[in-house]
Amino acid sequence: MNKPDATVFVVVESSYGEQVHAFLKQNAWLDRTVAPIEAAERSVGFPVSDLVGEQEVAEAVAATLGIDAEIVRQPTVRRSPVNPHERLKSAVSSWFASHLPQCNPEPFVPKKWERLGELALLPYALKETEVWEEVSPHEHATLLWKAMAAALGVSSLGLQAPIADDLYRSAQVCMLLGSPLVKFIDHGITYTFDASKVMFSSGNITERRRIAGMDMAEEVVIDAYAGVGYYTFPMLVHAGAKHVHACEINPASITGLEAGAEANGISHRLTVHPGDNVETLARLKGQADRCHLGLLPSSELAWEGCLMALKPSGGVLHIHMNVEEEKIGRWVKATVHRFEKLVAKHGLGFSIEAQHVERVKWFAPRVRHVVLDLSLRP
């Protein structure tokens, strides 16, 4: 059997490499955690599992394949796991083994995380594990954060808490390492913001791309809840909107929105309206071909304002909502009926059609994040 600090390699001429590799793999003798080596000129060595005897392998290669093989030993150099979860597990386990050997590291290895450029946001559930009280105050905790960040290929690390129940729907991030300032490219669009002050939902990527794929050429669009440009930028960069009026109340989001617009070269086609969108929409009455209402769990407070912001020629509303799966059909009918009443109230004379319902993602058990595309035309 192999010594713990050394690996046995079966060395053959390179021309036989593919054949020997397949043979070792077939017999479960190949140690996949160690990379092959280049031995003598035109020779390659394959690492052998320490569960099999070295002479047994050499004799089997000669007897079965008719290939002469040499056995060599070299210090063991493990491959870094390709799977990021495996890298993370390895990093966490190694730190625990060195600094908290009495604790089980498994609860501290997250199954999912969100990456925003150089920042990885881990689930807040880590802070609720029993072992957190041992890890957090540890004098070498920073070494763990650095190891976890390296495993995920980032320079900053934080814990993502639930969105604050405040006027701004502020992000709540507990930084463990580095900076919350992020800048990254998604689908050809640059986003830049302070992740500790504003939210960014990577889970809405399919909806952002659906919106990006629409034809909005020559259209004036209102984004009633613009944030840092989640939908504003796809509408300008990819859908070709003529101009977007972006309504946003959170100063930190506005900073990110303006910085992102400059980074994407679209500032001249964007007007940012700070403050309450109820007041903004009243000032934009009759100007829009399309309105986007991307607030969850409901954008209902802006429905009437967006309706009145449409041009006399009508337009399209994209209405986001959290709805129980079995109630989606009823919600669509109720929403159409609600707009019929609003149209009658203001004497607009629009006909209303529910063009499409997009099921974006599961928001909670049995609850879907959906988007209703509602057409209103004379």
List, for residues 248-304, the tens digit of each pLDDT value.
Answer: 999 999 999 999 999 999 999 999 999 999 999 999 999 999 999 999 999 999 999
Q: For the chain, what is the mean pLDDT? A: 90
Q: What backbone phi and psi angles, to 5 degrees, belong to 187?
A: 55, 40
81 against 376, higher pLDDT: 376
Measuring CA to CA, how many Å separate 367 from each of 51, 175, 209, 324, 363? Answer: 50, 30, 22, 4, 6
| Pairing label, strands 172-177, 156-161 | antiparallel
Q: Assess whether pLDDT exceeds 50 at residue 2.
A: no
Comparing 124-133, 232-241, 329-338, the range with the smallest average pLDDT is 124-133
- Give the percent of the chain with pLDDT over 90: 68
The reported pLDDT for the residue numbered 164 is 53
Asked whether the predicted pLDDT for residue 95 surpasses 80, the reply is yes
CATH topology match: 6-75 vs 201-377: no
For residue 170, pLDDT over 70 is answered with no
The angle formed by the CA atoms of residues 229, 295 and 330, to the nearest 5 degrees, is 140
Q: How many CB atoms neighbour CB 311 within 10 A?
A: 14
Neighbours of 112 (CB within 10 A): 7
The dotted CATH code for 6-75 is 3.30.70.2580
Topology (CATH level 3) of domain 84-179? GMP Synthetase; Chain A, domain 3 (3.30.300)
Least confident of 37-41, 102-106, 124-128, 355-359: 37-41
What is the reported pLDDT for 173? 84
Q: Where are the domains of the chain?
A: 6-75, 84-179, 201-377
pLDDT value of position 289: 98
Tens-place pLDDT, residues 240-259: 999 999 999 999 999 999 99
Per-residue pLDDT averaged across 80-89, rounded?
A: 81
pLDDT of residue 155: 94
In the chain, beta strands by DSSP E:
6-13, 37-38, 43-48, 70-75, 114-116, 119-123, 156-161, 172-177, 181-186, 189-194, 220-223, 243-248, 270-274, 290-293, 315-324, 351-364, 367-377
Return the CATH superfamily for domain 201-377: Vaccinia Virus protein VP39 (3.40.50.150)
End-to-end CA distance of the chain: 83
pLDDT on residue 165 = 57
